[in-house]
Amino acid sequence: MGRIGLQLRATLENITRLRAEGEDFRWYLKLKCGNCGEVSEKWQYLRLMDSAPLKGGRGSATMVQKCKLCSRENSIDILSQTIKPYNAEDSEKFKTIVEFECRGLEPVDFQPQLEQTKLEDHGQFQAVQSTPQGSELKDSSGPVCNDSSLVHGHALCHLTPCYF
């Protein structure tokens, strides 16, 4: 199954950078079992800080999960070195912001949890409220955000296999 990359396209205005901040940043995904094709109904999140042991002493993964349907033990890893900020010069273009190593669990959908997404603007961190569908960045007045007009336009995400 290999690697799957998450590509983001957003319109940034007056924003320097959009990035996943910290070990506890939650990547909300819908995961598919590579064995039987079952897709999780609920959004699940992966965090860098999480680690679960693989059966048989084969190390660990960010998430290890037994498929409810076929009972296959699947796992997935966040590849920490692939996490990249989305910068002003990336605006309007698709950019891979994270890659996942998939061993049975394959992300098929992504929901940006924007209240966690830190916007860095001239050294100040800005928080943006989440949107219900996650596919649209709306003007917002998050708890740390002083300027509600910082975010305009749309953010689009898609998941794509990476070939190396």
Does residue number 64 form part of the binding site for Zn ion (CB under 5 A)? no
Does residue number 33 form part of the binding site for Zn ion (CB under 5 A)? yes
Q: How far is the CB of 71 from Zn ion (least distance, A)?
A: 7
Q: How far is the CB of 37 from Zn ion (least distance, A)?
A: 7
Kindly compute the dihedral angle of the four CA atoms of residues 121, 126, 127, 131, in this order, to the nearest 10 degrees.
-40
Using only C-alpha atoms, what is the Rg of the chain? 17
Q: Please return the burial class of 24, using the count of CB atoms within 10 Å of its CB with bins 0-12, 13-18 and 19+.
A: exposed
Q: Please return the burial class of 68, using the count of CB atoms within 10 Å of its CB with bins 0-12, 13-18 and 19+.
A: exposed
- Contact with Zn ion (CB under 5 A) among 69, 88, 108, 144: 69
Does residue number 155 form part of the binding site for Zn ion (CB under 5 A)? no
Among the candidate windows 41-49, 50-58, 68-76, 113-121, which touches Zn ion by CB under 5 A? Answer: 68-76
Does residue number 108 form part of the binding site for Zn ion (CB under 5 A)? no
